[in-house]
Amino acid sequence: MIKMIAFDLWGCLLKENDIKMTSQEKILEKEFWNLNSDQKYFSWASQILSLSELDIKKILSPLFQKLYSLREEWIFRKISEKHPYMTFAIASNHISQVKESLNNLWILEKCNIVLISWDCGYEKPLKGFYELLLNKSWLSAKNILFVDDNKENIQWANDVWLKTLHYRYWTSLSESILNYLANKRLS
């Protein structure tokens, strides 16, 4: 039985808004996924933009607020109404500072585990990332549904026996999850 849903952020739980960005914001946003640690990211950004880490963080914080929003405003409520004991987790590759935005979107209070790659030292699709999710959850792999839009991440999650849902952005995320859970209950 599924007891926890672990969401990828971008492409799944969050959507990227079409916004006008400054030249600095464009540069910073372009590298969100290409570097794999805060230290590397801020070092790179400081060098490119000739700004301090503090100045970069001052740009990033409002950028995250403008750029990202929940794909479905009531997703946690929709799932919890049908599965009241379901718990939630975030399992995403991103810069650590993104947690501030998650807090502003009320996501952190809904999630028992927030696993951000640049915090933990592992990133998807490395096996260590999924093993860390399992260790933090104290659940068996068969009790966690990992939802991601990246097929490679799904394949690696399957390798550690997590249940998986390959999400497609043109469908309803909550309905995709609820259908998955309903079908698993019937099988």
Query: Residue 177 maps to which CATH number?
Result: 3.40.50.1000
C-alpha separations of 112 from 12, 40, 72, 98, 157 in Å: 18, 28, 19, 17, 19
> Each residue of 55-95: pLDDT tens digit?
999 999 899 989 988 999 899 999 999 999 999 999 998 87
Same domain, 164 and 96: yes
Same domain, 157 and 118: yes
Same domain, 110 and 38: no
Contact between 101 and 63 under an 8 Å Cβ cutoff? The reply is no
How many beta carbons lie within 10 A of that of residue 180, not counting itself?
18
Token pair for 86: 């379901």
How many beta carbons lie within 10 A of that of residue 122, not counting itself?
19
Structural Rg of the chain based on CA atoms: 17
Same domain, 33 and 95: no
Same domain, 167 and 81: yes
| Containing structural domain, residue 123 | 4-15+70-186
Greatest Cα-to-Cα distance within the chain, rounded to the nearest angstrom: 58
Q: Sorting pLDDT into bands at 50, 70 and 90, what band is 186? A: low
3-state class of 70 per DSSP?
Answer: strand
Same domain, 131 and 171: yes
What is the tally of structural domains in the chain?
2
> Each residue of 99-133: pLDDT tens digit?
777 777 778 889 999 999 888 888 898 899 999 99
Nearest by Cα to 167 from 1, 5, 4, 31: 5
Q: How much of the chain exceeds pLDDT 90, in percent?
A: 67
Token pair for 177: 């999850």
42: DSSP letter: H
List the beta bridge partners of residue 129.
none
